[in-house]
Amino acid sequence: MKIGTMALLGFTLLQSFLAVAPASSRDLVYQPVSPSFGGSPLNGSYILGLAGANNFNHTENPRARAERRAQDALSGANDPVQQFSRQITSSLLSQIATTIGQQIIGENARDRGTFNLNGTVVNFNRVGGQINIDIAEPTGGRTNIQIPVPQY
């Protein structure tokens, strides 16, 4: 038998197998996304948010847009050095917040303590089953947080 004859025989067998195999299919059904056209009402807020985000470019006052871009240029919003500086500051503040959090509710938590970070004073005190946290800002603002003591 030649190679071409064998290929033809293989192809014929494959066709006969496919002809015998059952075919399965379903009707294609269009499912609308927008609730305005019969879609799920749960998609409404998502689509409204997208529309609002897209409309901002068209509804913003041209003078306000020019002022915003000028302010961004003056503040160095797109300057890589400024972005790096903000990232370093954010990372350090995150590490400080983690350290303070470990002192308040960590494995070896203290019953009371005070932290001072550039004029912002964080006092915490464990009373019964609650932790009272008082944050005093240098501008005079105060925030008081009460959380239950976590059970490990």
Range of the domain at 38: 33-62
What does the pLDDT profile of the chain (152 residues) look like in tens digits? 566 676 676 667 667 666 665 667 788 888 777 777 777 778 778 888 887 777 766 677 788 888 888 887 777 667 788 888 889 999 998 998 898 888 888 888 888 999 898 888 999 999 888 999 999 999 989 999 998 887 76
Q: Is residue 55 part of a domain?
A: yes
Q: Of 152, 18, 131, give the one whose Cα is nearest residue 144.
A: 131
Which of helix, strand or coil describes residue 85? helix
| Domain total of the chain | 1
Domain presence at residue 49: yes
Q: How far apart are CA 25 and CA 118, in angstroms?
A: 69
pLDDT for residue 57: 64
Is 138 among the domain residues?
no
Instruction: Report if residue 45 sits inside a domain.
Output: yes
Regarding beta strands 142-148 and 130-136, do their DSSP bridges make them parallel or antiparallel, or are they unpaired?
antiparallel
Q: Is position 42 within any domain? A: yes
Q: 43 in a domain, yes or no? A: yes
This prediction has a pTM of 0.45
